[in-house]
Amino acid sequence: MPKRARPTITDLYSLAEGHAGYFTTQQAAAVGYSPQALRKQLLAGRIVRVMHGIYRLVHFPAGEQEQLAILDLWANGEGVFSHETALAAFNLSDALPAVVHMTVPDAWRKRRLRIPPGLRLHFADLDVTDTTWFGIVHITNVYRTLLNCLADNVQPDLLRDAFAQAKQRGLLTAAEAERLAQREVFQ
């Protein structure tokens, strides 16, 4: 059996480029990085630890979605950004959420979680049709986002503005717009 070549910083770069320069300990292990090899990169100043089990390549160009990338890795890619975070991503209304909203599978309710500061979790089993891509992460689609915000009692003025803008920009199907228009807040 041939001996596996030692992993390089290029290996880390390849796996981190899809997440704004961030990667997990598990991802690094998958490309051959032992905890000792990661520590060596850390001590050499090539990577920094940003959260338990999550690292960033120091020389990777900064991006707009870094906070979302970190939280997506924390959730092992199982979370979907939602509620007011998705409203802000779609640039609907003047929503400026104080926390990041993420919906994770309902089975996560049973987990003992150490939730990062500034993250609010919601629990639901989303269908793939409820989500879309926002750059490098998944978010709820506009229809699901408006339903989530309704259920979470987001300010009615914000919801009305978001609904009007979504209709004007064609982000809702005719059926979705009709179903939402029947809700009292949108009348």
Q: What is the pLDDT of residue 117?
A: 95
Range of the domain at 13: 9-57
Residue with tokens 């997990």: 24
Whether residue 140 is found in the same domain as residue 91:
yes
> What pLDDT is attached to residue 96?
85
Q: For residue 1, is pLDDT > 50?
A: no
CATH number for the domain spanning 15: value is 1.10.10
Is the whole model's pTM more than 0.75, yes or no? yes
What are the backbone angles phi and psi of residue 27, rounded to the nearest 5°? -65, -40
3 lies in some domain: no
92 and 128 together in one domain: yes
Q: Per the structure block, which two tokens stand in for 95?
A: 């929503």
Q: How many domains does the chain have?
A: 2
End-of-domain residue from the set 57, 78, 96: 57
pLDDT tens-digit profile of 111-159?
A: 988 999 999 999 999 999 999 999 999 999 999 999 999 999 999 999 9
Q: What is the pLDDT of residue 4?
A: 55
**pLDDT tens-digit profile of 73-105?**
999 999 999 999 999 999 998 878 999 999 999
- Give the span between the Cα atoms of 77 and 79, in whole angstroms: 6
Give the residue-averaged pLDDT of 5-30: 90
Dihedral (C-alpha) 14, 15, 16, 19: value to the nearest 10 degrees?
120
Residues in the chain: 187
Six token digits for residue 161: 């503005």
Q: Which residue has the higher pLDDT, 10 or 125?
A: 125
My answer on whether 93 and 161 are in the same domain is yes
Angstrom distance (rounded) from CA 142 to CA 138: 12
DSSP secondary structure, 141-175, as one string: -HHHHHHHHHHTT--HHHHHHHHHHHHHTT-S-HH
